[in-house]
Chain A
Amino acid sequence: MPVKQIHLAAQLPSVQNTTVWSDPRSESQIEFDSFARLARTAERGKFDFFFLSEGLRLREHKGRFHDLDVVGRPDSLTVLSALAAVTTHLGLAATVNSTFNEPYEVARRLATLDHLSEGRSAWNVVTSWDAFTGENFRRGGFLDEADRYTRAAEFLETARELWDSWQPDHVLADAGAGEFLRAGAGEFAHRGRHFDISGRFNTPRPPQGHPVIIQAGDSPQGREFAASDADVIFSKHSNLEDGRAFYKDVKGRLARYGRDPEDLKIIPSVTYVLGDTAEEAAERAVEIGRAQVGPQTALMLMEALWGRDLSGYDPDGPLPDVDPLPDTVVTKGHTEYRKGREAAVRRWRELAETRGLSIREVVIEVTAKPTFVGTPRQVADSINEFVQTDAADGFIFVPHLTPGGLDDLVDRVVPLLQEMGVHREDYTGPTLRDHLGLKPPRTPGAARNATTGRPAKEIS
């Protein structure tokens, strides 16, 4: 069996607590130079794409702005459009929410990025729906949690209809004949539960047909959404066993939609630490973990999980005996701590007990443990093992430093992966679909299944 090619991607270290902003080498998280530097490094490493996250309301902890992590980021589509000018092959992936936007605008902005980059755009469809974020929008927060994916699915379906409303040959620009476009180009009508819109879309079909679609969401509904309609699923399963289980589960859902296993790439987000020797790497990992989780951050993350004020506890002491308040939310604008809190607390307590860890040590272990630690050779081997044993199709690397944090990976690990024949020496095509080895999107005008809206040929 031929070896699988690994899909490498990178994310700008941003508002997560894994970003170390206190290091003297850490530069601006907002100046364009930082983005350009990281993107160019990723392109030097022949990565598939560069990824930016999104959050539409600043996080708050105990009723005040969260001040311990990086705060502030640009609009992802705007900065990615600028990056299109300073890169030539790298895919450009924007996270854009489907609740606080409308399909017409998102479809045209993504089509624009695809035109500007000549076929390198991707859209990470995220589904935050909370009223807290809704306060920043004139249309407000108007969704029940249960509806987040019905809206997202209809949103994406509508965007696809808009991209399909122009066929590839609809722009004629024939000066002699005096025909600029084909009559009727852009006509669309969508009548659904969430959107009832019609008219003419005003941006021609994107060079990729449709931008690459990424899904980030872990619930069964999220997985189903990805299986039915996404090209990439972005997960957080970053140990081998969880990764394999997730991989099997998600790939297993594809057949139902008439899709092949290679139509959906599973690309978890991961962190890494390199050293010249295994010992040095392990030492660096400890240092970095302590920088990622300062004493205040340890208490803050514990309070978020416990749902109560625990500021009186010593971060270097044992976990508190008091029970969490499962229904109280002290951290807003952060999706991770809404569900499964009691199980998480049990896990923290077990960790603390079996390994004699302090509060801060537990928090480092659960929030900041790097996925890959070792020499470049060891890390290259683990990356490859993950992929060849079907725990992932590739990774989104999240460095801990901006903007130099990707340098050692690209300089020291990528060449080894290339030597092993599992990562390209150079790009073989111009578009992100080419890099990911994806089929072209459905053809406009193809007959659709009446109930699912998907092309009929994919169902049969």
Chain B
Amino acid sequence: MTRLHLSVALDGTGWHPAAWREPGARPADVFKARYWADLVREAERGLLDFVTFEDTLGLQSAAFHLTDDRTDQVRGRLDAVLLAAAIAPLTSHIGLVPTTNVTHTEPFHVASGIASLDFASRGRAGWRPQITSRASDAAHFGRRTTPRLTSEDVLDSELIAKRLRELFGEAREVVEAVRRLWDSWEDDAEIRDAATGRFIDRDKLHYIDFEGEHFSIRGPSITPRPPQGQPLVTVLAHASTPYELAAAGADVVYLTPHSREDTVARLGTLGRALAVVGRPAAEPLKVFADLVVFLDDEPGRAAARKRRLDELDGAEYASDAEIFTGTPGELADLLLDWREVGLDGFRLRPGVLPHDLAAITGGLVPELRRRGVFRSAYEAGTLRGLLGLPRPASRYAPTGATGVTL
């Protein structure tokens, strides 16, 4: 059987809003590098493919399209790219995938930031571009307005996608521009030719001359081509328009199915998006499913724990992704069942940190390994390599230049 890819989504003290009040949680440490380093090293001990870091341009809120004044949940964040960079020298194999905003943030800065993370981690950088339509985020910049979501919109991901079509289109341009910037230096542009006094071969640097509907960028990047050539681009998508963003620009898409049947249905929609954008079959899109997980060895205990947290928070925790409560063995059953219909892997969102992360690395991973579907050692030195993706040649390199498999 082919192996499963597994990643963990890190956010605050875990995805349940009351997670920070659990014994063992470290709420006073969430703005310290040490806290995050401990978590990522734990994930690396479990030989996971990568971790993702959430980010937003405004304070977290209970409803994603509105702000609130709550003081009883974790609020505040560190910049995810910088956070990932601070972990890079403390880890050696695990991929580091920060989220950045693409509605207000300059694509040029994103491109060199992620490329720099790829250098700092020696080829383990990924990126999760994310749009925002929150009026409060726009007010932090004061440069533009964004479409508003109504309370009806947010109940239906197709309605959200429709309302935000423009922002997704713009995001597609950002991904394209960033990818061109990463390619704007050919791999062998640096020549250090003492005889002629030339440090670079200027014919191997390229203007990207990106001209989109929303912006234009001249290039080239200020940062040389990163070790992976193209760091891993990952997109979370819930509906047709974002599926097209993923199909056009991502290496990995995270879906949010709620059952095996729903996985089939979503893969069907994704397939249509791949056809719409005309993605070549030679460049497969890796498909992950997101799950929020609460794990305990003792049957029933995880569900009871989640109920207790819900009570503390005063509301039943709801998520865009399916919420799993159970034992690591039961989760392994579910993952293997769903993946049969066409998934490459999963991104697990631990309900509580570090508890549910430790249950993934200490319970789920050994269980998957016993079933022969998970690695027992890292088999590659780069994130693309872990996912079995080749290192692509720069699009600006003369034809005949080929990528290498790492």
Contacts and interface: CB of A to CB of B under 8 A. Distances in A.
Interface of A: 21-22, 30-32, 36, 55-58, 64-65, 67-75, 77-79, 81-82, 84-86, 100-102, 104-105, 108-109, 111-113, 115-118, 135-139, 166, 171, 173, 175, 178-186, 195-204, 294-297
A109 B82 CA distance: 7
The interface size bin for chain B is 35 or more
Shortest Cβ-Cβ A-B pairs, 10 listed: A138-B215, A74-B116, A78-B116, A135-B218, A82-B120, A173-B27, A81-B82, A81-B85, A65-B202, A112-B79
A290 to B, nearest CB: 12
A21 B199 contact: yes
A186 B108 contact: no
Contacts of B37: 85
7 contacts: A72-B185, A77-B82, A85-B87, A111-B78, A136-B217, A166-B76, A199-B139
A118 B29 CA distance: 12
A71 B222 CA distance: 8
Contacts of A297: 197
Contact of A175 (B27, B77, B86, B222): B27
Contacts of A73: 222-223
A297 B143 CA distance: 42
B186 to A, nearest CB: 12
A197 B85 contact: no
A367 to B, nearest CB: 15
A74 B67 contact: no
B222 A202 contact: no
A112 B83 contact: yes
Given A78-B81, A203-B76, 5 more contacts: A30-B224, A73-B222, A182-B71, A196-B142, A294-B197
B307 interface: no
B64 interface: no
A70 B86 contact: no
B195 to A, nearest CB: 9
B59 A202 contact: yes
Contacts of B222: 55-58, 72-73
Contact of A109 (B79, B88, B116): B79
Contacts of A101: 106, 109
Nearest to B58: A202
Given A77-B82, A181-B71, A65 B200 contact: yes
Contacts of A102: 104, 141, 143
Interface string B96-107: 000000001111
B119 interface: yes
A28 B345 CA distance: 36
Contact of A171 (B31, B185, B201, B214): B31
B375 interface: no
Contacts of A171: 28, 31, 76
B25 A175 contact: yes
A85 B270 CA distance: 40
B79 A108 contact: yes
A186 B106 contact: no
B113 to A, nearest CB: 5
B194 interface: yes
Interface in B32-47: 32-33, 37
A77 B120 CA distance: 12
Contacts of A118: 32-33
A74 B73 contact: no
B224 to A, nearest CB: 4
Interface in B103-139: 104-109, 112-113, 115-117, 119-120, 122, 136-137, 139
A345 to B, nearest CB: 24
B119 A30 contact: yes
Contacts of B116: 74-75, 78-79
Contact of B119 (A74, A180, A199, A200): A74
B181 to A, nearest CB: 9
A226 B215 CA distance: 34
B152 to A, nearest CB: 25
Contacts of A22: 192, 194, 197
Nearest to A30: B224
A334 B109 CA distance: 19
Contacts of A21: 192, 199
Contacts of B198: 67-68, 296
B120 to A, nearest CB: 4
Given A67-B201, A82-B85, A112 B78 contact: yes
A22 B190 CA distance: 12
A179 B30 CA distance: 15
A85 B86 contact: yes
B295 interface: no
B140 to A, nearest CB: 4
Contact of A72 (B71, B81, B217, B223): B223
Contacts of B71: 179-183
A79 B75 contact: no
Most chain-A Cβ atoms within 10 A of its Cβ — which of B85, B122, B202, B312? B85
B191 to A, nearest CB: 9
Interface string B199-241: 1111001000000001111111011100000000000000000
Contact of B89 (A86, A104, A199): A86
Contact of A186 (B76, B78, B90): B76
A157 B71 CA distance: 28
A72 B25 contact: no
A78 B32 CA distance: 16
B41 to A, nearest CB: 12
Contact of B218 (A72, A82, A136): A136
Nearest to B227: A31
A242 B209 CA distance: 44
A205 to B, nearest CB: 10
Contacts of A32: 88-89, 119-120, 122
Nearest to B37: A85
Contact of B33 (A84, A199, A295): A84
A199 B140 contact: yes
Given A74-B223, A175-B25, A198 B78 contact: no
A354 to B, nearest CB: 28
Contact of A85 (B76, B88, B115, B224): B88
A85 B21 contact: no
Most chain-B Cβ atoms within 10 A of its Cβ — which of A30, A64, A199? A199
A116 B83 contact: yes
A175 B106 CA distance: 38
Contact of A137 (B75, B108, B119): B108
A434 B200 CA distance: 41
A199 B56 contact: no
A296 B113 CA distance: 33
A112 B82 contact: yes
Contacts of A135: 216-218
B50 interface: no
A65 B87 contact: no
B20 interface: yes
B298 interface: no
Contacts of A136: 108, 217-219
A260 to B, nearest CB: 32
B32 A75 contact: no
A139 B143 contact: yes
Contacts of B78: 111-112, 115-116, 203
Contacts of A79: 85, 116, 119-120
